Chains A and B, each alone.
Chain A
Amino acid sequence: DIQMTQSPSSLSASVGDRLTITCQASQDISKYLNWYQQKPGKAPKLLIYDASNLETGVPSRFSGSGSGTDFTFTISSLQPEDIARYYCQQYDKLPFTFGPGTKVDIK
């Protein structure tokens, strides 16, 4: 299985801050990486697909980049409604695997 790691595991930032989460795959997954947002008690929501494409309806403050084994997820200006856990997920090879998540809080 392809192992996904994320850092940091949690972070606190102020409203308006720019924050970045990194995701690393244990092998080359090309561009086949998604980012999801999960709020407490809710199902995950797809934000970014194919590493850098914004899902329809997702605010433009969210963005992603990277390819191969190293990927980055960025919120350009943190909003209170962005408080959630964020997961990366690879879909280059079965089984699809998720990173452990990054918890984002407001400072």
Chain B
Amino acid sequence: ETGVTQTPRHLVMGMTNKKSLKCEQHLGHNAMYWYKQSAKKPLELMFVYSLEERVENNSVPSRFSPECPNSSHLFLHLHTLQPEDSALYLCASSQADNREAYGYTFGSGTRLTVV
């Protein structure tokens, strides 16, 4: 399997639930990203991992917790979310030492609905 794979594709969760989003890339990239895409708003960068270290955290609430156990996998752990957290969550990867040559490769996203 190639590219960036995100699971699940759709997730409905209650505000008291705990769930995790998974992202896996088979491109040999060494940087991974979480973006949030809400209706009528621009893409919001949430977290950046480069060589498995978190290098950027854009003031994301603590109810979102990322994890990058290796360069191929990225998780987003969710707990006690709010309805306004409902959105499409996109994972992307790139080659951090030459990212400008390739840009990002995106997954298909997880559509999250918080009820």
**Does A pair with B?**
no
